[in-house]
Structure 1
C-alpha cells in the first residue's frame, strides 16, 4: 500500500508520461520500506547543504537509492531493510564511505565529512572506510592528452546551442560565419560521445551546431594533439562533445524553455531514471529561430602589367532566414552481470529552414562611374532528417582495469534543398536559375577497444575500427531567360557518389617511472575512396584513391612535486582528408552566378606533424596552462579564387594542394578564484605562420598565384564571473581577434562584448538566465583578398546583436553515480568520453 501512495505522488509531481513508465516498473520491485533520516555536518559541526548521500544495498542493487541534503544538511528517504554501503559526496569535501545495517526506520544521526583543505588525513569519528578526494566543479581542467571544459558554469550560453558554448571554450574560436577553428585552424574534427554523429549532419556545419541545445551538453573535450587511439583526421584537433546521460539513482530530470531576439524559442528536456542495474534516459528539444545577416564586397580589377584600374564590381547582400528544428535521443544501459553491461540508444534529428537573399550587383568603370546595376533575389529551402542507432557491449575481466568494449553505430542523413534565383536589370527580369539538391549520407562505424594493465603503473591499449561512408549527391540546376522556359544546365547538374572505407588499427603503451609518465602509440589507417560522377547528358568520370598512412604519437609528463604540477611534451602525426563535397567536380549552386564554388576531384590529403610543450599547475583556487606548439603541414590545401575567364565578373573558388605551411604559437589558459565573489577564466592564443607554394592555371591566368608569405595574429578572451549573492551570478566576457595577413588575404581586428546573468529560484529547483550576445554590435569580419588582376574588400556579419532569456526547472536530483571505478592508471585520467569505450 505504501508503494501505491508513493507512485501516486510521483505521477502528480512528475511528467505524466515518463512517471507512468517509472511507476509501472517500480511496482515490480515493490517491498515494504522504512523511513530513515540524518544530517551531514563538517568537523566543526556545521551543516553541509546539498551533499549527495547514496545507499547501496549489498544484497540487491534494486533496493539502492540516493538523495540530496537540504540547505540545513538534513536528508530523508525510504529504504528496504538490509545492509548498505553509504557514500557521501559534497563539493569542497572529501568523498567518504561507510557501512550500516538498516533494520528499522529512524534517525541515523550525524555523518561527518572532512574538508579538502584539512591538514589531517585521518577519518572522522562518524565515518569509517576509504576516503577519496573529490574535486569541486571547475570550468576547465587539464589532462595528459586533452583539456576538459564544463559548460555548467557558463552563463553566456544558457538557453543557447552548441555553437554558443564553443564560442566560450578555451583554445576554440567561432568565426562570424559559424566556422569553428582551433588555434587559427578550421580543420576541426567533431565527435559526439567519442564518434562521428548524424546529429551534426553531413560534413557538420553551423546548422548542426545550432540544433544541439546547450542544456544537453555535459562537457567538451578539447584535444589539440590527439593520441594514436583517436582517428587520425582533423589537423587542428578534435572536439569531443559529451552529452548528458543519467548519473543519479531514481528519477532525475530538467526542463528548460527560452525566448530570444532575433525571435527564437527553445524547449529542451533531459530525463533519466536509474533503478538497480537499469538506466533509462531521454534527451530532446526543439525550437524556432530567425536569422539575419549581411555581406558586402567591392572588387577592383586592374591590368597586371601596369597596375592601372580597369573597372569596379560591387555586391551588397542581405539575408533573412527562418528555421525549425528538433532532436531526441533515447536509450538504456543495463548491467547483465557484475562485469558485463550493454547499452542501446537511438537518435532522430530534423532541421528545416527557409531563406531570402537579395544581392545588389553594381558595375562601375575605371573612374567609378556607374555602368549598370542589377539585383539578384534568391529564395531557398532546406530540410534535413538524420537517424542514428548505437549499440555497445562493455566487459570487465577484473577490477584491475582489464577491459574490452565493442560498439556499432548506424547512421543515415537525408538533406534536400532548393534555390530559386532571379536576376533583374533596372527592374526588368533578365534570367533565373532553379536548383534542386538532394544528398543522402549513410555511415557504418564499428570498433573494438581493449585495455590490459601490466603491474601497478603500466597499461597496453589496442583496438580496431572500420568506417564506411557513402554520400550520394544529386544536383539539378536549370536556367532561364526572358521566356521563362527553364532549361537544364548540364555543366552544373549531375550525380556524384562518394564512397569511403577506412580500416584502422592502433596500439599504445603507457607507464610511469618515478615522476616521469609516458605514452607511446602507433596507428595505421588505410583509406579506399571511389568517386563516380555522371552528368545528365551522360558524361562520366571515375576517380579512385587508395592510400595507407602511419600515425605515431608520443606523450611525456614530468611531475614537478605532484601530479597537479606537470611539464607536458607530446608529438603526433595527423591527416586532413578532403571533405567529400570538396571533391565534387562541378558547382553545386547557381544562386549567385558571380561567386561560385567548384570542387576538385584530384585533391589529395594533407599531412601534419604536431609538437606541443606545455606546463600545467592545477590548484584549488587556480589553474595555469601555457602551451607552446609547432605544426608542419605538407600538401597544404588552399582555396584559390580565380575569374572564370579573362575579363569575366564571375569568380570561382576551388581547393588545391599548393605547398607547405608551418605554424607556431603560444596557447595560454588561466582560471582563478580571485575572491569568493569574483572568478576569471582567461585564454590567449598568439600564433604565427609561414607558407610556401603556388598555383598556376594557364587557361585563366598569365602568372602563377603565389602563396608564399608569413604573418602573426592573436586571439584573446576574458570571462569575468561575479557572485552577487547565494542565488544570483553574472558574467561579462570580452573577446578580441587580431588582424591576420596571409599570402592571398588580409583581415582586420575584431572585438566582441557579451553579458550573462543567472539566478536560482524555487528552493534551487529552478534557474532563470539572461544573456546578451554582441552588446556593441561589432561582430563582423572585414577582409581584403588578392588575386591576379583583382583586389576585393569584403565585410560579413553572420548575425546581429541578440538577447535570450531561459527558465529551467529541475526534477528530483539524485546522487551523482560514477561508473564503476577502474584501477587508476599512471595518470589518473580516462581516455575520451565514448560510452561504448574510448574513442579511436
Structure 2
C-alpha cells in the first residue's frame, strides 16, 4: 500500500467514526452488545486498516463504525438488529453484506476481493466477552458533557508524570508552581476513576501530581460544565483521571523505565492476569526527582498619603529539592453471576522529600542604599504515607439497561514535615526558627447509582452519595530570642481540627425528540463543616458551617442535518468549598518571616452559574470544536497580599470572599492533517473577565478596600506531530499564556517551547522516547502585587530546562476482555469506565 493512501483513508474514516458514534450515543433505548470480527482477503490473510460501517436498517441512529487494526481486527458495540455491513480498504473493492446481530461474541469474518465483491466465509465462532481495541488516531474527542484526552499520543510527556500530561490537555493550564487551572480558573476538582482519591491527597498539590506516572494514565476527562450526576464541587470544572486497569486473557502488561536531567529516575509497571471469571491486576512503581526553583521579590514601601518611597526590601531565593515516591495498586474483579460483578482494590503511596532553600534578604533606604543584608537558610524534610481501599458491586436487573451500582472507598493520609530556618548576618546566626507539622487526613466515600430505562429512548438516573472528611493539623513553631534561646511561638503553634460531612442526592432524566436530545437534572447537597482551633497561647475559636445547596443542570443537543453538525447548549450550577488549609487562621511556617500565608476561618464557599454553547464541525482532514461560555461567580475567593499591621514590612497573603466575578470567552480546540506526515492539535482560550468587590486589611481598619478589575486574556497551545517513518515520530509544542490584570495584581505573558520524539523497537514490543521541556528556558511567572503602602514585583521559576529518556516494554498482550460497563447515555458518546461505578 502507498503510505499517502493509507493516511488518507485513516483520516477520512476515523473522522467519520467520531461523529457516527456521536449519533449512536443518543440511541440508548436498548442495551448494546460487543461484537468482534476480522477482515480478510481471498487467501484468508488479514486486511489491515479496513473501514467497517454497520448501518441499522430500522433506525440510522443505531448505526456505528470501526477501523480495523494492522491485523484486520475490529470491535464495536451495537444494538441488536439487522444491519448492512460495508467494508472499504485500499486496493480492495467496496463490499456490502447483510448481518443480523442478536448476541455478542465473534461475528463471521468478511472476505473482500480486489476485483470482485466479497463473500462471507468461515463459520461463526462464539467467544463471549472478547473485545479487541484499536488505538485512537485522535488525541482527544469532544462529547456532549466533556472532552476526553488520550495521552498515548503524547510524546512530550513520555516518562513523565500526571503534571507533565496535564500541560498538554485542551482547556487546561499548569502554572510554574504546579497550580492547575481550567480556562483561567484554578478551582479545579480532581477525581481518580470517578471519585476523590487519597492518591492525590485531600488537598491536591504539585507533589501529588508528580507522583502519578504518565504511563499509568489511560485517559483524562475534562468536564468544564458537569451535570447533576457529578459532585457539585469545583467551580472551574472536573478533571477525571482514569488510570489503566488492563484486563486480558492470561498474563500481560508493560514496564516503563526512564532517566532524565535534572536528575530523575522512574520505573513503573502495569500487570494483569485473567483466568475464568477472575481478573487480577497490579500497577505500581517508584521514582526519584530533583528540583530547582528560583524566586525573586522586590518590594517598594511608600507613604500611602504622599506616595513617597520610604524603603525597599529585596529577596532572592534558590530552592533545591530531592523527592522519592513509590506507589502500588492491586486488586481483582470477579463475575459472581452473568449479571453481578464485584471488585476490590487497595492502594498505597509513600512520598518523602528534602529541600534546601537559600534566601538573600536585602533592605534599602529610600535612596536605594543598603541598610541591612542577611541570608536565610531553610532545610526541610517531609514524608507522606497514604492508603486507600475500594470496593464495588454492579448488578444488572435485565438486559435493557436496568442497573444499580454500589461502591465504598476508605482513605487515610499521614503527612509529617519539619523545617529549620536560620538567618545569618555576615555568616553569624542572627536567629533560628523551627517548624514541625503533622497532618492526618481521613475520608470515607459511599455511593449508589441507579439507572432505569423508560420507553424506547428515555432513561431515569438517580443516586445518593455520602462524603466524610476529617483533617487534623498539628503545628509547632519555635524560634530563638535575643539571647539565642529556642522558645515556642505560642501564637503560631497549636491544633486545628477540620471535619466535613456531605450528603448528596441527584436525579436526572434523558430523552430525545426527533433531532433534539435533552438531559435535565437536579442535585441537592447538605454540607456540615466544623473548624476547631486552639493555639498554645490559649487563643481558641470554633466555627460551624451548615448549609444546603441545590444544583440544577440542563443539556441540549440538536442535530443540524448530519452527524458532523451538532449544536450543544448546557447550563449547570456549582459550588467551590474552601480547601481545609485555606481556613487555618495562623501561618503554617515561619521560615520566611517577611512573607507569610495565613488562612481565613470566615471564608465561605463560592457559587457559580455556568453556560456553554458549543458547535462541532467536521471536514475530511480537520475537526473544529468551538465553545462559547459565560460564568458568573458569587462570593469569589481571591488571595490578597497585605501588611501585617500599619507600617509593618511583614506581608501576609490571605484568602477573602471578595465579591463577584463574571467571565466570558471562546474555548476553541481543533485537529488537522496538514500533510500525510504532519498533524496538528491546537487549542485557544480567549476570555474576558470583570471582578467587583471589596475587602478589609489591618492597615485600613474598618475602611473597605475596593477589589474591582476587568480585562482580557488569552491562552494558546499548538502541538505539531511529524511522522518520519513507520517507527519514528516527533512532536514540537508551543504554549503562550497572555498577561492578566486585576485591581491588586498584574501578571506578565509567558511562552514555552517543548520537544519530544519516540521510536518503536523490538518488533513493536518496545518504545524508546526522548523529550526536552522548556527548550528556551522561558517558563516562569512574573507578576506585580499592589497594596496599601507597598508594591511588590515577583518572579518565580519552578524548574529549569529538563531532559528525559524513557523505554517501555510491552509483554505480549492477550485479547482484551470486556468488563461490566455502564450502559451508555443517550446523550453521551462514552461508555464510561469499568472502575468508576458512576461519577456521583
TM-score (norm 2): 0.86
Structure 1 residue 162: deviation in Å? 0.1
Structure 1 residue 305: deviation in Å? 1.3
Separation in 2 of the partners of 1:831 and 1:315?
Answer: 53
Q: Structure 2 vs 1, CA of residues 303 and 72 (structure 1 numbering), >3 Å: closer, same or farther?
A: closer
User: In the alignment, which residue of structure 1 is the partner of 2:62?
Assistant: none
Contact map agreement 1:348 1:388 (CA 8 A) in 2: yes
Structure 1 residue 624: deviation in Å? 1.4
User: In the alignment, which residue of structure 1 is the partner of 2:307?
Assistant: 307
Q: Structure 2 vs 1, CA of residues 43 and 552 (structure 1 numbering), >3 Å: closer, same or farther?
A: farther
Structure-to-structure mapping, 1:598-677, within 5 angstroms = 598-618=598-618, 621-677=621-677
Structure 1 residue 124: deviation in Å? 5.0
Structure 1 residue 837: deviation in Å? 1.2
Structure-to-structure mapping, 1:441-520, within 5 angstroms = 441-481=441-481, 483-520=483-520
Separation in 1 of the partners of 2:242 and 2:563?
Answer: 25
Aligned residue pairs total 767
User: In the alignment, which residue of structure 2 is the partner of 1:79?
Assistant: none
Structure 1 residue 743: deviation in Å? 1.2
Separation in 2 of the partners of 1:516 and 1:435?
Answer: 60
Secondary structure of the residue aligned to 1:649 is coil
Q: Return 229-238 or 246-255, whichever deviates more.
A: 246-255
Separation in 2 of the partners of 1:553 and 1:607?
Answer: 14
TM-score (norm 1): 0.86
User: In the alignment, which residue of structure 2 is the partner of 1:35?
Assistant: none
Q: Structure 2 vs 1, CA of residues 587 and 823 (structure 1 numbering), >3 Å: closer, same or farther?
A: closer
Is the counterpart of residue 125 in structure 1 residue 124 in structure 2?
no
Separation in 2 of the partners of 1:132 and 1:49?
Answer: 14
Q: Structure 2 vs 1, CA of residues 442 and 645 (structure 1 numbering), >3 Å: closer, same or farther?
A: same
Separation in 2 of the partners of 1:96 and 1:227?
Answer: 39
User: In the alignment, which residue of structure 2 is the partner of 1:415?
Assistant: 415
User: In the alignment, which residue of structure 1 is the partner of 2:194?
Assistant: 194
Q: Deviations over 1:657-710 (max 9, x none)?
A: 111110111000001222321111000000110000111235555853221110
Q: Structure 2 vs 1, CA of residues 455 and 822 (structure 1 numbering), >3 Å: closer, same or farther?
A: farther
Structure 1 residue 285: deviation in Å? 1.2
User: In the alignment, which residue of structure 1 is the partner of 2:346?
Assistant: 346
Secondary structure of the residue aligned to 1:198 is coil
Structure 1 residue 251: deviation in Å? 1.6
Provide structure 1 residue ranges, at least 5 long, that are not aligned to the other structure.
Answer: 1-37, 53-68, 76-86, 100-107
Contact map agreement 1:644 1:700 (CA 8 A) in 2: no
Secondary structure of the residue aligned to 2:120 is coil
Is the counterpart of residue 143 in structure 1 residue 138 in structure 2?
no
Contact map agreement 1:399 1:822 (CA 8 A) in 2: no
Contact map agreement 1:280 1:333 (CA 8 A) in 2: yes
Contact map agreement 1:295 1:318 (CA 8 A) in 2: yes
User: In the alignment, which residue of structure 2 is the partner of 1:430?
Assistant: 430
Separation in 2 of the partners of 1:51 and 1:279?
Answer: 31
Separation in 1 of the partners of 2:71 and 2:186?
Answer: 50
Structure 1 residue 533: deviation in Å? 1.1
Separation in 2 of the partners of 1:576 and 1:815?
Answer: 43
User: In the alignment, which residue of structure 2 is the partner of 1:595?
Assistant: 595
Separation in 1 of the partners of 2:107 and 2:670?
Answer: 42
Separation in 2 of the partners of 1:467 and 1:750?
Answer: 39
Separation in 2 of the partners of 1:500 and 1:426?
Answer: 49
RMSD over aligned Cα, in angstroms? 3.2
Contact map agreement 1:194 1:834 (CA 8 A) in 2: no
User: In the alignment, which residue of structure 1 is the partner of 2:586?
Assistant: 586
Q: Deviations over 1:194-232 (max 9, x none)?
A: 000011123010000000000000000000000000000
Separation in 2 of the partners of 1:821 and 1:381?
Answer: 44
Structure 1 residue 648: deviation in Å? 1.6
Separation in 1 of the partners of 2:541 and 2:790?
Answer: 33
Structure 1 residue 310: deviation in Å? 1.2
Is the counterpart of residue 792 in structure 1 residue 792 in structure 2?
yes
Is the counterpart of residue 378 in structure 1 residue 378 in structure 2?
yes
Contact map agreement 2:642 2:651 (CA 8 A) in 1: yes
Separation in 1 of the partners of 2:255 and 2:97?
Answer: 29
Q: Structure 2 vs 1, CA of residues 109 and 822 (structure 1 numbering), >3 Å: closer, same or farther?
A: closer
User: In the alignment, which residue of structure 2 is the partner of 1:529?
Assistant: 529
Provide structure 2 residue ranges, at least 5 long, that are not aligned to the other structure.
Answer: 1-36, 52-67, 75-84
Structure 1 residue 157: deviation in Å? 0.3
Structure-to-structure mapping, 1:643-722, within 5 angstroms = 643-697=643-697, 700=700, 704-722=704-722
Contact map agreement 1:405 1:836 (CA 8 A) in 2: no
User: In the alignment, which residue of structure 1 is the partner of 2:110?
Assistant: 112
Contact map agreement 2:750 2:780 (CA 8 A) in 1: yes
